[in-house]
Amino acid sequence: MKLFTYSPGGTEIEEEKWTKDKPFVKLPPPSIAVIPLSQHTGAPNVPAVKIGDHVKIGMVIGSTSAPVSAPVHASVSGDVIAIEDRLCPAGNKIQSIIIKNDFKEEEAEFEHVDSIENFTPEELIKKIRDAGIVGLGGAAFPTSIKLSPPKNKVIETVIGNGAECEAYLTTDYRVMIEFPDEIINGILIELKILNAKRGIIAVEDNKTDAADLLAKKIAERNLEDKIEVVLLKTKYPQGGEKQLIKAVLGREVPSGGLPLDVGTVVQNVGTLKAISEAIFYGKPLIERGITISGTAIKNPGNYIVRIGTQVSEIIDKVGGLNKKLRKLVFGGPMTGVAQSSLEVPVLKGTSGILFFGEESLEMAPEEESPCIRCASCVDSCPIGLLPVFLDHAYRRNDMKLAESLYAVDCIECGACSFVCPAKRHLTENIKKAKQSILKQRKIEAAKQAAFEKLKQKRLQEAKEKEAKK
């Protein structure tokens, strides 16, 4: 089988995939579920319940009519005891629905179907939206929007992303091993929705058993003319959307562009499974697979966890800590976010939680030293940026220069900081520059919109004045 990869850029990292051979275990539901109303890119939801309401598993408890959004559902049955702002993994506070579990496990009614043959693309998209499906690879972009490209964008290929190139995380691998048919079903659903010609499932070559299993299942279902499995070279960040497309299709997503600009939709394998469950079983996104790992947790593994379960409860349910906790990270070590509290909940986009102890070398503090101009950061950048110059631009507060160096194209993978021998805070500073540029663009867009509105108002007033004459 041919080995695909992208060029230039990327780096090798220590994988630390300790949990690779540990099948999913369902954790008991939490006693208290904290379900933020915004767990996706886009407009936040508003409460669909009030304090004192009794809810069942799968009931919609937050929604909005805004197009770019995804509703949230109760992950336990019980009573709503509060609607208040709660700390979330990104470090911000989000209005959340707090449910006290009655442990009766009452479920809302879910519609089961045997086939998608009689459904239109629009009906399938509505089911996906109603189920609250978002990208489970971390971005949490509403899947219904991803599957609704503009009419002038023809989608030819759906890529199932099974790369999982972050260290420690093995959730996607376990999904491919344990739920291959659901992944295939998810691809078939997307092919119908998008009227796309082919599906590709891309897997790194350190997971050949998963690739072989998927290929076997595809052959058993006589789907070789629709779906194929390809192997990718194992390197970081091979699982990035743009890198994946370049590796598999040889197409480069333009600066500021999206995969749909090159006729492609990329979907995480966990998202494909969730799509399949939403369509065939009517199951909303109320739980997900996550990897629990690190040096400070007693029982590392892969677990199915209800959305809204707080870390403090997870620690108890997996057997506790084996040493003093020094650092708690949501996500992987390269792109994850360190936490300041154990009272943060699992969200739809949570792929892993890492617990590190005091002896962990990965968490040892490292001070910056002067840049030695070795260009390792340039060689490692998968986008082809110049991290060293972007860093200098940020430190000089020269956002115009940072913008001219395409700071907004940074995918924040952390490769440049990882390879830097001077331990410069490259990713952090480029991210800040990117945020500053995007904020300024929003301000300029708002000013332009206000100007256009005033202009139209003046024109209308002039027309009315002329008409009176």
Does residue 381 lie in a domain region? yes
Nearest to 204 by CA among 172, 178, 181, 182: 172
Give 100-106 contacts, CB < 8 A, sequence gap 24+.
100/31, 100/32, 101/29, 101/30, 101/31, 101/32, 101/33, 101/76, 101/77, 102/76, 102/77, 102/78, 103/29, 103/77, 103/78, 104/77, 104/78, 105/29, 105/57, 105/76, 105/77, 106/56, 106/57, 106/77
What local confidence, expressed as pLDDT, does residue 365 receive?
Answer: 57
Look at residues 254, 281, 308 and tell me which one is the last residue of a structural domain: 281
State the Cα–Cα distance between residues 457 and 297, nearest whole angstrom.
Answer: 63
Number of domains composing the chain: 2
Domain final residue, candidates 281, 301, 323:
281
- Quick one: pLDDT at residue 359? 66
User: Tokens for 218?
Assistant: 């595809």
Looking at the fold, whether 130 and 265 belong to one and the same domain comes out as: yes
b or e along 28-59 (b: 16 or more beta carbons within 10 Å of the residue's beta carbon)? ebbbbbbbbbbbbbbebbebbbeeebebbbbb
Question: Which range marks the domain in which residue 229 is found?
Answer: 3-21+110-281
Residues 133 and 246 in one domain: yes
The answer to whether position 125 is within a domain reads yes
Pair (139, 250) in one structural domain: yes
Which residues have C-beta within 8 Å of that of residue 32, sequence separation ≥ 6? 98, 99, 100, 101, 310, 313
Which pLDDT tens digits describe the chain residue by residue (469 residues)? 678 999 889 999 999 999 999 999 999 999 999 999 999 999 999 999 999 999 999 999 999 999 999 999 999 999 999 999 999 999 999 999 999 999 999 999 999 999 999 999 999 999 999 999 999 987 899 999 999 999 999 999 999 999 999 999 999 999 999 999 999 999 999 999 999 999 999 999 999 999 999 999 999 999 999 999 999 999 999 999 999 999 999 999 999 899 999 999 999 999 999 999 999 999 999 999 999 999 999 999 999 999 999 999 999 999 999 999 999 999 999 999 999 999 999 999 999 999 999 766 555 557 899 999 999 999 999 999 999 999 999 999 999 999 999 999 999 999 999 999 999 999 999 999 999 999 999 999 999 999 999 999 899 888 888 887 6
Please report whether residue 359 resides in a domain.
no
d(CA 275, CA 136): 11
Q: What is the DSSP string of 396-463?
A: TT-HHHHHHTTGGG-----HHHHH-TT---HHHHHHHHHHHHHHHHHHHHHHHHHHHHHHHHHHHHHH
- 3-class state of residue 178 by DSSP: helix
- Indicate the residue among 281, 305, 329 that finishes a domain: 281
CA dihedral defined by 213, 217, 222, 227, rounded to 10 degrees?
Answer: -60
Regarding whether 391 and 276 lie in a shared domain, the answer is no
Whether 462 maps to a domain, the answer reads yes
Map residue 226 onto helix, strand or coil: coil
| List of residues 6+ apart from 4 with CB closer than 8 A | 202, 230, 231, 232, 233, 247, 248
Is 313 within 8 Å of 145 (Cβ atoms)? no
Taking the C-alpha atoms of residue 276 and residue 465, their distance in angstroms, rounded to an integer, is 60
251 falls within a domain: yes
- DSSP helix/strand/coil, 203: strand
Q: Examine residue 141 and state whether it is found in any structural domain, yes or no.
A: yes
Mark whether 274 and 380 lie in a shared domain: no
Read off the CATH number of the domain in which 223 is found: 3.40.50.11540
Which H helix or E strand runs over 466?
Answer: helix 426-468
State phi, psi for 428 to the nearest 5 degrees: -60, -45
The pLDDT of residue 397 is 96
What does DSSP say about strands 157-162 and 264-268: parallel, antiparallel, or unpaired? Answer: parallel
DSSP state, residue 177: H
Could you tell me if residue 50 is inside a domain? no
Residues 115 and 256 in one domain: yes
In a domain, 77, yes or no: no
pLDDT at 461: 86
pLDDT at 360: 61
- Is 127 in the same domain as 247? yes
- Dihedrals phi, psi of 192, to nearest 5 degrees: -70, -45
Residue 363: per-residue pLDDT? 52
CA pair distance 335, 361, nearest whole angstrom? 17
